[in-house]
Amino acid sequence: MSRFATLRAAFAEGRRRPIRIVGASGQLGYGVPTAAFEAALARDPDMIGCDMGSLDIGPYYLGSGEMAVSRASARRDLRKVLLAARRLDIPLVIGSAGSAGAAPHLDGVLELIREIAAEDGLSFRLASIPADIDREACIAAIEAGGVRSLDGMPELTAETVRGVTHLVAQMGMEAFQRAFEAGADVIVAGRACDTGIFAAMPILLGFPEGLAIHLAKIVECASVCCVPGGRDPILATLDDEGFELESMNPDRAATPSSVAAHSLYEQSDPFSILEPAGRVDLSEVTYAALDARRTRAEGARFVPTDRYCIKLEGAAALGHRSILLAASADPSFIANTDEIAEGLEALVESLVCEGQEKDYRLIFRFYGKDGVRKPVVPHVEPGEIGVVVECLAPTEARATEVLRTAKQYLLHFGFPGRKSTAGNLAFPFTPPEIYAGRVYELTVFHLMDIAAPEEVFPVRVEEV
pLDDT tens per residue across span 248-271? 999 999 999 999 998 777 777 888
* SS3 assignment, position 364: strand
- Examine the pLDDT at 419 and tell me if it is beyond 90: no
Tell me which DSSP letter residue 375 carries: P
Q: What pLDDT does residue 378 have?
A: 65
Give the whole-number percent of the chain exceeding pLDDT 90. 87
Q: What pLDDT does residue 381 have?
A: 84
Q: What pLDDT does residue 376 have?
A: 66
Question: How far apart, in Å, are the Cα atoms of 259 and each of 233, 256, 290?
Answer: 15, 5, 13
Q: Is 16 exposed, middle or buried (0-12, 13-18, 19+ CB in 10 A)?
A: middle
Mean pLDDT taken over the chain: 94
Residues 6 or more apart in contact with residue 448 via CB below 8 angstroms: 133, 138, 141, 146, 147, 148, 169, 309, 310, 311, 312
Q: What pLDDT does residue 377 have?
A: 64
Average pLDDT over residues 114-119: 98
Residue 175 burial (CB count, 10 A): 27
Q: Is 325 exposed, middle or buried (0-12, 13-18, 19+ CB in 10 A)?
A: middle
> pLDDT tens digits, residue range 37-94?
999 999 999 999 999 998 889 999 999 999 999 999 999 999 999 999 999 999 999 9
Tell me which DSSP letter residue 155 carries: P
Selection from 301, 334, 315, 338 nearest residue 425 by Cα: 334
- Examine the pLDDT at 383 and tell me if it is beyond 70: yes
Fold of 314-440: Alpha-Beta Plaits (3.30.70)
Phi, psi (deg, nearest 5) at residue 167: -125, 115
What gap in Å lies between CA 335 and CA 369, rounded to an integer? 10
Domain spans of the chain, in order of start? 3-131+171-305, 314-440
Give the whole-number percent of the chain exceeding pLDDT 70. 99
- Examine the pLDDT at 204 and tell me if it is beyond 90: yes
